[in-house]
Amino acid sequence: MALATPISWPAVFLSLGLGLGAAATATRADPASAETDFAAHAKRAFQEAQARYRSAPGKTAAAWGFAQTCFDLAEFATNKTERASVAERGIAASQQAIARESNSAPGYYYLGMNLGQLARTKGLGALKLVSQMQTAFARARDLDEHLDWAGPDRNLGLLYRDAPSITSVGSRSKAREHLQRAAELAPQYPENRLNLIESYLQWGESNKAQRELTALQALWPSTRTNFVGEAWAASWADWDPRLQKLQKRIEAPQKSLGTSRAQR
């Protein structure tokens, strides 16, 4: 089955959740930094969570906690086989968490996240996993919309934004609804407003993008004190360049326009 519109599935799933994709890609681009601080931290967290999971197989929190680290570690996989293997372990752990507690919001959430990692290895086969991701994130949202800084709405918004509208679940109206909701629920979390600004620009809504950029810039200093430490280093390696890029895209044309008017 041919897609009606071309789509890069890795771009879709790289953007989901923790915003580690750009940092991981930049890390691997440097041969001298194959085992970077970012990757090393993800690996340590994975090993620690795996030990807790094995020592307490009946605890739901241990299961979804391990699934969370599977998603993080999969970001630093060097090939599709490795990424799929780690993601499948995360999927299995999430499913175990849900089997023990049917109302486990993190269980559904990290099931969707790891399905996203698996989808990155499937090419066109990723389409088959989209409905499962949609269901998992929607269920997590129903149970706890504040989870992971409004993560369920954030991921649903990206899924609806980037998936094809004819052959899959793509919908601009639904994307707008969920991305705006994520920014409303957790405006202090940089990823939410960055996604919204990028989406507004993608949709040609520059005034709305400018409004959100102004709000994000006002919050930026405080976010530096709220999201600190090794666990957030990879996210900042993604957020900072994205903000700089957006500032250039939005502010440069305005400065150019102001200069042109002044010269008249």
CA 149, CA 182: separation in Å to the nearest integer?
8
Per-residue pLDDT of 80-89, as tens digits, reads: 999 999 999 9
Q: Is pLDDT larger for residue 235 or for residue 90?
A: 90
Per-residue pLDDT of 98-124, as tens digits, reads: 999 999 999 999 999 999 999 999 877
Check residue 253 and give its pLDDT: 63
Structure tokens at 162: 């980037």
Q: How confident is the model at residue 263 (pLDDT cuts 50, 70, 90)?
A: low
Compute and round to an integer the Cα radius of gyration of the chain.
19
Q: How confident is the model at residue 159 (pLDDT cuts 50, 70, 90)?
A: very high
Tally of structural domains, the chain: 1
Give domain status of residue 71, yes or no. yes
Structure tokens at 74: 């999969």
Displacement of CA 75 from its chain's centroid (Å): 11
Residue 2 pLDDT greater than 50, yes or no: no
Per-residue pLDDT of 182-206, as tens digits, reads: 999 999 999 999 999 999 999 999 9
Residue 65 pLDDT greater than 90, yes or no: yes
Give domain status of residue 4, yes or no. no
- pTM for the model stands at 0.85
Q: What is the mean pLDDT of the chain?
A: 85
Residue 259 pLDDT greater than 60, yes or no: no
Distances (CA, A) of 112 to 6, 122, 157, 199, 253: 23, 15, 13, 21, 39
High-pLDDT (> 90) share of the chain, %: 70
Give domain status of residue 1, yes or no. no
Give domain status of residue 134, yes or no. yes
Q: Is pLDDT larger for residue 193 or for residue 233?
A: 193
Check residue 127 and give its pLDDT: 80
Check residue 123 and give its pLDDT: 76
Check residue 254 and give its pLDDT: 59
Check residue 124 and give its pLDDT: 74
Which CATH number belongs to the domain containing residue 192 in this structure? 1.25.40.10
132 burial (CB, 10 Å; 0-12 / 13-18 / 19+) is middle
Give domain status of residue 230, yes or no. yes
**Could you list the residue range(s) of the whole structural domain that residue 210 is in?**
9-262
Give the H or E element holding residue 4: none
Give domain status of residue 212, yes or no. yes
Per-residue pLDDT of 10-28, as tens digits, reads: 344 444 544 444 344 444 4
Structure tokens at 244: 């700089």
Q: Which of 143, 82, 136 is nearest to 113 (CA)?
A: 136
Q: Which value, to the nearest 10 degrees, does the dihedral of the CA atoms of residues 20, 27, 77, 226 take?
A: -30
Give domain status of residue 156, yes or no. yes
Check residue 84 and give its pLDDT: 96
Please say whether the dihedral angle defined by the alpha carbons of residues 19, 145, 197 and 214, taken in this order, is positive or negative: negative
Give domain status of residue 115, yes or no. yes
